[in-house]
Amino acid sequence: MDQVRAPVRAPGPGELLVRVLACGVCRTDLHVAEGDLPVHRAGVVPGHEVVGEVVALGAGVGEWFARGDRVGIAWLRHTCGTCKFCRRGAENLCPESRYTGWDADGGYAEYTTVPVDYAHPLPRGYADAELAPLLCAGIIGYRALQRAALPLGGRLGIYGFGGSAHLAAQVALARGAEVHVMTRDAKSRELARELGVASVQGADDPPPVALDAAILFAPVGDLVLPALAALDRGGVLAVAGIHLTDIPVLNYQRHLFQEREIRSVTANTRADAREFLAFAAEHHLDVTVHPYPLAGADRALTDLAHGKFAGAAVLIP
């Protein structure tokens, strides 16, 4: 990324201009940078886990935010509001949906903008850098947990243990789940143990018990097979990532029969964001962050690609 500084512009109608205080580095930024996802806007400034301070209000933003307020900017930044998906509360599936740091400039910058309807008030009790990963890693992990339909007190398997997984695990644990983590990375295994999970295994090792639900956070299609094979009867595997390498051929008896299911997770709704941020306000989450300066964005992405840290990288302008 050569250009991380966009010129500061006045907020348009319905927008807030925000001074960036912290911006999380998400695996999706890597997929945008490396071309795993189609280009939506050439030269877009990435970053969709933005914690900022409102510095100017565009026309018609109403009374929800004032100058000086702390605000969160997440991935979803536009939906049509009228299609069949929007009308039934599935705005994450809106064909007109647009995204921060993909369709519009995001938070790898000193200033950015957000449509006020997609700006989030933030929970108290967290530092700016800790709040940033909540805005995508946290929200997506929360949606993935809902999609995995874990029964109360059930056994959850987590495949891959990065920024999103370490937050979803804490939500599941707070709800009384028994959590089993499968990951290749030693630092992440250590973090999982510290958070109090029931067991930790290698990336494709079988967990010690049959799982009621599982979430695949690693963008590795090969892991779909061991994750499905680890499910108990009626279990659900949710795939949390926006990008996954090819899934090998499934065997119906071994991977799907007994009403096991595989489900994708596509972005999130604003309701997911509100619910998760309310949860984070009520139950303090331990957010493991690795700060980088704004000029270190490329290094942060490279370190993420190579699994150099446990938890989440955050840029501090």
| Site residues, Zn ion (CB under 5 A) | 26, 28, 79-80, 83, 86, 94, 136
CA dist 205 and 75 (Å) reads: 33
Tracing tokens 């010129």 back to the chain, one arrives at 7
Q: Give 289's strand partners.
A: 312
Quick check: 54 and 66 in contact, CB under 8 A? yes
| 3-state secondary structure at position 261 | strand
Judged by CB, which is closer to Zn ion: 79, or 112?
79
| Minimum distance from residue 60 beta carbon to Zn ion (Å) | 21
| Minimum distance from residue 211 beta carbon to Zn ion (Å) | 25
| 3-state secondary structure at position 314 | strand
| Minimum distance from residue 175 beta carbon to Zn ion (Å) | 23
CA 7 to chain centre: 27
Judged by CB, which is closer to Zn ion: 207, or 292?
292
Contacts of 217 (CB under 8 A, 6+ apart): 141, 144, 158, 159, 160, 161, 162, 164, 165, 168, 240, 241
The CA distances from residue 17 to 28, 55, 314, 315, in Å, are 24, 6, 20, 19
State both tokens at 174: 């707070």
Torsion angles phi and psi, residue 190, rounded to 5? -65, -45
Judged by CB, which is closer to Zn ion: 90, or 210?
90
Judged by CB, which is closer to Zn ion: 86, or 195?
86
Judged by CB, which is closer to Zn ion: 230, or 300?
300
Judged by CB, which is closer to Zn ion: 186, or 271?
271
Q: Looking at the chain, how many residues does it have? A: 317
Tell me which residue of 275, 269, 267 sits closest to 90, measured CA to CA. 269
| Minimum distance from residue 136 beta carbon to Zn ion (Å) | 3
| Minimum distance from residue 10 beta carbon to Zn ion (Å) | 27
Judged by CB, which is closer to Zn ion: 118, or 200?
118
| Minimum distance from residue 276 beta carbon to Zn ion (Å) | 13
Torsion angles phi and psi, residue 195, rounded to 5? -80, -10
| Minimum distance from residue 300 beta carbon to Zn ion (Å) | 14
CA dist 304 and 311 (Å) reads: 10
| Minimum distance from residue 85 beta carbon to Zn ion (Å) | 5
Judged by CB, which is closer to Zn ion: 45, or 230?
45
Judged by CB, which is closer to Zn ion: 136, or 181?
136
| 3-state secondary structure at position 231 | strand
Tell me which residue of 181, 182, 172 sits closest to 151, measured CA to CA. 172
- Give the chain's radius of gyration (CA, Å): 19
| Minimum distance from residue 28 beta carbon to Zn ion (Å) | 4
- Residues 276-291 as b/e (b if ≥16 CB within 10 A, e otherwise) read bbebbeeeebebbbbe
